[in-house]
Amino acid sequence: MKTPVFDALKKLMEEDSVFFHMPGHKGKNSLINWGEYIPKIDTTETYGMDNLLDPRGIIQESEELAAKLFGAKSTHYGVNGSTGSIYIALATITKPGNKILVQRNCHKAVYNAMILNRLNPIYMYPNYNEEYHVMTGIDPKEIDEILTDDKEIKVVVLTYPNYYGVCSDLEEIANVVHKHNRILMVDEAHGPHMTFSNRLPKSALECGADIVIHSTHKTLPSFTQTSMIHIGSDRVDLNKLKDRFQLYTTTSPSYLFTASNEIAVAYMDTEEAKKKLEWNIDKCEETIKRLNAIDRVFVFTGDESDKTIFAKDNTKILFRIEGMKGAKVKKQLYEKYNIRLEMTDYYYALALTSLMNEDEDYEKLISAVEDLAKSAPLEDIYPVSINMPEPKIVKPIYEAYHGEKKQRELKDSIGRISATSIIPYPPGVPLIVPGEEITRELYDQITFLMENGIEIVGLMGYNKDRLVVVE
């Protein structure tokens, strides 16, 4: 048998690309020499090794140290990414049939968790900044109004920061949620680094969230698939959390991932890491200034007139080149300059940084963007709104998902009820989920994204021209 995956990974090593995408370790073997330990430490729950599903020894000790560092009442290491941790967290704070208030541009893992736990969502939509074509924040007043009108809502689920680094006023939102005696769950997958510098937005725990999910691998130097669940208040039942943890976590949890979680967190408790993080913040600020000085280049760092932007994490460098679509910028940066970005949309490209990036990485990015801006021909970029559609909910998400299904051509699915999620990826935010009506507007948006190089997950068929609908 051939080994196409391993062959591609070896080729990736030989390319020696500049990484402005996750994971946060940026391909550097700098915290420990993993080659000395793998595969010898790829073990199981043998003598002295404790058990991630019921930690009482070394893993419990490590999680307690992590909780102290992050300011949590308790911390629990995850080995199935923030996806698995979101499943656990939402199952802990709800019961089947509960109604929850959800930020519509949350990650698909939240929607999957709603299916698994048979939850009924009420959606709140982020502001769409029409001047800059960016999804921004949530107004705390809107949450207050919704919770005042609907006493059945048990939990509020927010994403903070969003993929672009935009942060809502989470402290005020926490006050609102707790005033109504509800629970606040925050998907802070993109923000574990924010705990370690007062120059970054406040962490969700510091803002008063009850339960917080971190993707350790996104912005800290940890392996892909490592995550953490932090408990911030007594509103969360720890016994139920332990039960749900065992329900959703593999019975063969990886010690490599558990150790990587621990090592990354322990590193952030060192002076070296704190200095590197401060250096990286400085370097991002310098890079943004230099990019903005290039003709045709613009970096989004916020908008003072947009009151839903309470703070912005500018270690996520969101930039565009006039006359170039985001997908083309990403493609050419890779093909011509060996720079790999995190993601693009119609307008923007995103360079996701971490404290493991080096000065040379930024210099290469600035030089490449400047060269592209000078040499790339101007295209006609048709101005379009990338605001999220507000679909009509016809059936509960879990009923549509588990019901009878049929594939239909995308063009023939208009007016039908979707039985699947259609997701531009990244960032992994669904345009439509099971139980919602497929409209002409949605059809136009899907085809527009596909025509402009945006990957769509959830479509079927060889040409991705089919959609699964409720029969």
Residue 115 lies in a domain: yes
Domain of residue 430 covers: 397-470
Residue 256 shares a structural domain with residue 337:
no
Task: Give pLDDT, residue 426.
Answer: 67
Task: Give pLDDT, residue 462.
Answer: 65
Nearest CA among 291, 284, 376 for reference residue 329: 376
Q: What global pTM score does this model have?
A: 0.95
Residue 229 shares a structural domain with residue 293:
no
With a CB cutoff of 8 Å and minimum separation 6, the contacts of 403 are 395, 419, 470, 471
Task: Give pLDDT, residue 293.
Answer: 98
Residue 219 shares a structural domain with residue 362:
no
Residue 184 lies in a domain: yes
Around Cβ 210, how many Cβ atoms within 10 Å?
26
Residue 257 shares a structural domain with residue 283:
no
Sign of CA dihedral 236, 126, 98, 423: negative
- b/e code 11-31 from CB counts within 10 Å (16+ = b): eeeeeebbbbbbbbbbeeeeb
Residue 162 lies in a domain: yes
- What is the rounded distance in angstroms from the CA atom of residue 75 to the CA atom of residue 81? 15
Residue 211 shares a structural domain with residue 314:
no
Residue 259 shares a structural domain with residue 402:
no
Amino acid code (one letter) for 39: P
Task: Give pLDDT, residue 443.
Answer: 87
Task: Give pLDDT, residue 204.
Answer: 98
Around Cβ 231, how many Cβ atoms within 10 Å?
23
User: Which one of 245, 268, 291 terminates a domain?
Assistant: 268
Per-residue pLDDT of the chain (471 residues; tens, 9 = 90+): 999 999 999 999 999 899 999 999 999 887 999 999 999 999 999 999 999 999 999 999 999 999 999 999 999 999 999 999 999 999 999 999 999 999 999 999 999 999 999 999 999 999 999 999 999 999 999 999 999 999 999 999 999 999 999 999 999 999 999 999 999 999 999 999 999 999 999 999 999 999 999 999 999 999 999 999 999 999 999 999 999 999 999 999 999 999 999 999 999 999 999 999 999 999 999 999 999 999 999 999 999 999 999 999 999 999 999 999 999 999 999 999 999 999 998 899 999 999 999 999 999 999 999 999 999 999 888 777 777 778 889 999 999 999 998 988 888 888 999 999 888 876 778 888 999 998 888 888 888 888 877 788 888 876 677 888 887
Task: Give pLDDT, residue 29.
Answer: 82
Residue 345 shares a structural domain with residue 448:
no
Query: Domain with 137 in it: what CATH number?
Result: 3.40.640.10
Sign of CA dihedral 195, 199, 204, 207: positive
Instruction: Give the distance between the most distant pair of CA atoms in the chain.
Output: 65
Residue 87 lies in a domain: yes
| Number of domains, the chain | 3
Residue 259 shares a structural domain with residue 326:
no
Q: In the block, which residue shows the tokens 């080994």?
A: 3
Q: What DSSP state is assigned to residue 366?
A: H
Residue 389 lies in a domain: no
Residue 29 lies in a domain: no
What phi, psi does 320 have (nearest 5°)?
Answer: -140, 155
Bond preceding residue 121 cis, omega within 30 of 0: no
Residue 46 shares a structural domain with residue 159:
yes
- What is the rounded distance in angstroms from the CA atom of residue 240 to the CA atom of residue 359? 46
Task: Give pLDDT, residue 444.
Answer: 86
